[in-house]
């Protein structure tokens, strides 16, 4: 049983991670850290976690912690990941992996040198809808993919994570927050790499110095064109659609973890096949997979290198948004 410490125990840990750990088979949470000891102790009491700390350093020093899950704001990822690595603790870090690709490089190289497992929490790689889309595309059900579209929007005007609009804490607006999920999921499903990007963004008074909405155009190495639409000013939706020369695969709200997902195959504009899957166990599958990798029984599907690759794409998107030009990877 792998014992995790959650660094930066906040809303994401409460709403997503703890339910995932509750149904995990090979790991459990034994420690957490928050900014103050009183807050940490209160959360530990509320969720039945044995140990509470007021720093990531103290959490990583605990002999009762086998692995660290970093869930602090983006700007703290580099320091917190390096702290875990320095203590020889395998570390799973929330997305985006860092503030920029250079920070990702530093993390990945530190983990390699220390021979410590580094993973990035791209949880949608562990969804059954993502797996089935990847499998069905690879089986040739729609022929050669021409277009790949992923959207992720949610209304965030009253979101409790206020730091999401602070560029000193967040790597960006919805491009970095949820666009990275869309990009990673398309890369994973297509089993292909992005070679060029173009980005258009829109900010508003509430979003401050980060974008509120964006449209990203992705060119993949084998010729598919991708479209990613993200916003914190639209109702919640996460559709994925793959269009090929022999058909269409689509799933409405494909990245949702709360409701069943219908995956449809269309030919000639008509639905010819449909299957329904559940993504409810995505978070438990993610941490169990990391535990398996720690034990040397399998490779983790989202290593730090994947987070680094995604960050290079994010950086290129922000350069494109600033210059109005296409950016090559």
Q: What is the CATH number of the domain that holds 160?
A: 3.30.360.10
Residues 64 and 90 in one domain: yes
- Strand order of the β-sheet with 240-244 is 270-277, 261-267, 247-251, 240-244, 145-153, 225-231, 213-220, 194-202, 327-328
Has residue 241 got a pLDDT over 90?
Answer: yes
Range 146-167 average pLDDT: 88
| Integer Rg of the chain from CA | 19
Residues 173 and 320 in one domain: yes
Instruction: Output the pLDDT for position 293.
Output: 98
Instruction: Output the pLDDT for position 128.
Output: 97
pLDDT confidence band for 164 (50 / 70 / 90): confident
pLDDT confidence band for 224 (50 / 70 / 90): very high
* Helix (H) / strand (E) containing 248: strand 247-251
Residues 253 and 180 in one domain: yes
CATH number at residue 71: 3.40.50.720
**Between residues 137 and 206, which one has the greater pLDDT?**
137
Instruction: Output the pLDDT for position 87.
Output: 98
Number of domain units in the chain = 2
pLDDT confidence band for 25 (50 / 70 / 90): very high
Range 157-186 average pLDDT: 91
Range 17-36 average pLDDT: 97
The mean of the pLDDT values for the chain is 97
Range 254-274 average pLDDT: 96
Has residue 159 got a pLDDT over 80?
Answer: no
Has residue 158 got a pLDDT over 90?
Answer: no
Q: pTM for this structure?
A: 0.96
Assess if residue 306 is contained within a domain: no
List the beta strands (DSSP E) in 14-144. 27-33, 51-53, 67-70, 91-93, 118-120
Instruction: Output the pLDDT for position 40.
Output: 98
Instruction: Output the pLDDT for position 27.
Output: 97
Residues 206 and 264 in one domain: yes
Tell me the per-residue pLDDT of 282-298, one tens digit each, with 9 for 90 and over: 999 999 999 999 999 99
pLDDT confidence band for 215 (50 / 70 / 90): very high
Residues 130 and 118 in one domain: no
Has residue 157 got a pLDDT over 80?
Answer: no
Residues 239 and 142 in one domain: yes
Residues 159 and 24 in one domain: no
Range of the domain at 45: 2-123+284-301
Instruction: Output the pLDDT for position 174.
Output: 98
Tell me what percent of the residues of the chain surpass a pLDDT of 70.
100
Give yes or no for a contact between 54 and 43, defined as CB atoms under 8 angstroms apart: no
Instruction: Output the pLDDT for position 196.
Output: 98
Residues 88 and 159 in one domain: no
Assess if residue 246 is contained within a domain: yes
* Cα angle for residues 306, 311, 313 (degrees, 5° grid): 100
Instruction: Output the pLDDT for position 303.
Output: 98
Write the CA distances from 200 to 112, 181, 185, 244, 257, integer angstroms: 36, 18, 20, 25, 28
Residues 195 and 316 in one domain: yes
Has residue 206 got a pLDDT over 80?
Answer: yes
């Amino acid at each position: 049983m792998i014992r995790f410490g959650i660094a930066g125990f906040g809303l994401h840990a409460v709403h997503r991670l703890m339910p995932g750990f509750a149904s995990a088979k090979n790991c459990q949470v034994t420690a957490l850290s928050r900014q103050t000891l009183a807050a940490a102790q209160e959360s530990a009491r509320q969720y039945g976690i044995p140990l509470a700390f007021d720093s990531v350093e103290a959490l990583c020093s605990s002999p009762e912690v086998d692995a660290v899950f970093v869930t602090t704001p983006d700007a703290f990822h580099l320091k917190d990941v390096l702290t875990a690595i320095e203590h020889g603790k395998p570390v799973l870090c929330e997305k985006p992996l860092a503030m920029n690709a250079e920070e990702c490089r530093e993390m990945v190289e530190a983990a390699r040198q220390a021979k410590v497992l580094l993973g990035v929490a791209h949880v949608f790689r562990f969804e059954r809808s993502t797996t089935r889309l990847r499998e069905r595309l690879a089986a040739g059900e729609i022929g050669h993919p021409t277009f790949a579209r992923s959207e992720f929007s949610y209304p965030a005007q009253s979101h409790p994570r206020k730091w999401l609009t602070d560029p000193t804490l967040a790597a960006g607006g919805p491009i970095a927050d949820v666009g990275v999920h869309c990009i990673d999921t398309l890369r994973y499903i297509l089993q292909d790499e992005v070679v060029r990007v173009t980005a258009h963004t829109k900010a508003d008074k509430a979003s401050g110095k980060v974008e509120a909405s964006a449209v990203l155009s992705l060119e993949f190495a084998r010729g598919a064109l991708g479209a990613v639409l993200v916003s914190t000013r639209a109702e919640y939706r996460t559709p994925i659609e793959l269009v090929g020369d022999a058909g269409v695969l689509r799933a409405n709200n494909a990245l949702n973890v709360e409701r069943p997902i219908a995956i449809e195959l269309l030919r000639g504009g008509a639905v010819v096949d449909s299957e329904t899957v559940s993504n409810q166990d995505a978070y438990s599958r993610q941490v169990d997979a990391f535990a398996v990798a720690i034990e040397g029984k399998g490779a983790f599907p989202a290593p730090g290198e994947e987070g680094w690759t995604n960050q290079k794409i994010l950086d290129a998107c922000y350069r494109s948004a600033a210059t109005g030009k296409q950016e090559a990877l």
